[in-house]
């Protein structure tokens, strides 16, 4: 009921469903208008919200769940797996591990418990890692997509992984087991491309509501040449007839200029870490593309510093 009342008031004030502004005067004006309708308190600049620490720096905006992570490590128990899911909101580096463990939340075995403890040891070594939304001139979208064919040994379903950037800032990512079994690695990759495309369309709609023009087509980086060929070839083959809907969906977005597929080497596939567990060297790999994707918060007395690290 409270939410319905808030929506009614905001619509009455002439807003759409999204409220945002870069104008300090307009922000102050709306705060004053809302005070006539609600008992509200101005808490000043955003610093902490729902367990997420927020820090403004000269480079941009940093989001971290450092305190939440330390609390999780201090009181880890049978409910710890659920807490890891929430922690992954600002920790793309643990997305694949959490996706795997979350499948066994209700009936974990000793093996799963050992994996969870290993993940906690990793978190203990870097509790302040988070996301850095870096300032820049570019507002172009680009996406990296990958899959691991037949990864689940129990169901032989594949894993979809993708990450999407606005400029040089990571704004969306996913690591999830596919709902159906793919008969080839190309099919698994194609389904992953469709999932990433759906997310891109959703982001384009949000940016459009914010009056932000995004350059089209959006580049979709994939390291599977067979999947890219299927997307570009309008001819149906026997090996593609069982995922016909996905074929039409992605090809339509390509033909309309919304998406363009771009080949990328497996070594430069940023989404690789969302589909499988990587060796330490690969997980810590640092290059020019990934250097600004993640922030680390380090406390020294009362000082809070932010510096970038790689998440892949």
How does pLDDT run across 263-282, given as a tens digit for each residue?
999 888 999 989 988 877 77
The confidence band for 22, taking pLDDT boundaries of 50, 70 and 90, is: confident
Residues above pLDDT 70, as percent of the chain: 86
pLDDT of residue 197: 95
**Phi, psi (rounded to 5 degrees) for 260:** -135, 130
pLDDT at 126 over 60: yes
User: Residue 298: what pLDDT?
Assistant: 42
Average pLDDT for 206-223: 91
* Residue 49 vs residues 43, 52, 103, 159: alpha-carbon distances, Å: 11, 5, 28, 31
Domains of the chain with bracketed CATH: 50-135 (no CATH), 138-271 (3.30.420.10)
What does pTM read for this prediction?
0.80
pLDDT bin (cut points 50, 70, 90) of residue 238 is: low
Report residue 306's pLDDT band, with 50, 70 and 90 as the boundaries: very low
> What is the rounded distance in angstroms from the CA atom of residue 91 to the CA atom of residue 72?
14
Buried b (16+ CB within 10 A) or exposed e, 250-278: bbebbeeebbebeebeeeebbbbbbbbee
What are 246's two structure tokens?
Answer: 């996905």
Q: What angle do CA 242, 248, 252 make, to 5 degrees?
A: 165
Task: Identify the pLDDT of residue 277.
Answer: 82
Lowest mean pLDDT among 176-180, 196-200, 221-225, 288-292: 288-292
């Amino acid at each position: 009921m409270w939410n319905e009342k808030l929506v009614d008031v905001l619509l009455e004030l002439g807003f759409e469903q999204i409220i945002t502004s870069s104008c300090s005067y307009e922000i102050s004006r709306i705060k004053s208008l809302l005070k006539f309708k609600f008992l509200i308190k101005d808490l000043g600049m955003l610093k902490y919200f729902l367990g997420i620490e927020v820090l403004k720096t000269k480079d941009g905006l940093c989001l971290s769940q450092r305190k939440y992570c330390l609390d999780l490590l201090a009181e880890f128990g049978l409910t710890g797996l659920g807490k890891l899911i929430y922690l992954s909101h600002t920790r793309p580096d643990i997305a694949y591990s959490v996706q795997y463990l979350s499948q066994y939340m209700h009936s974990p075995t000793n093996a799963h418990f050992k994996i969870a403890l290993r993940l906690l040891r990793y978190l203990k070594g870097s509790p302040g890692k988070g996301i850095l939304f870096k300032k820049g001139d570019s507002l172009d979208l680009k996406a990296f997509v990958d899959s691991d064919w037949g990864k689940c040994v129990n169901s032989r379903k594949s894993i979809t992984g993708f990450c999407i950037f606005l400029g040089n800032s990571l704004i969306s990512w996913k690591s999830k087991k596919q709902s159906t079994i793919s008969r080839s690695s190309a099919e698994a990759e194609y389904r992953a491309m469709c999932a990433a495309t759906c997310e891109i369309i959703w982001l384009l709609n949000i940016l459009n509501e914010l009056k932000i023009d995004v350059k089209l087509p959006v580049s979709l980086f994939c390291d599977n040449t067979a999947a890219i060929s299927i997307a570009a070839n309008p001819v149906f083959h026997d090996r593609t007839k069982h995922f016909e809907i996905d074929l039409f969906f992605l090809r339509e977005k390509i033909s309309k200029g919304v998406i363009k597929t771009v080949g990328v080497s497996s070594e430069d596939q940023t989404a690789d870490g969302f589909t499988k567990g990587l060796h330490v060297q690969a997980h810590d790999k640092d290059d020019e593309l990934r250097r600004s994707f993640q922030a680390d918060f380090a406390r020294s007395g009362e000082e809070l510093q932010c510096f970038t690290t790689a998440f892949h």
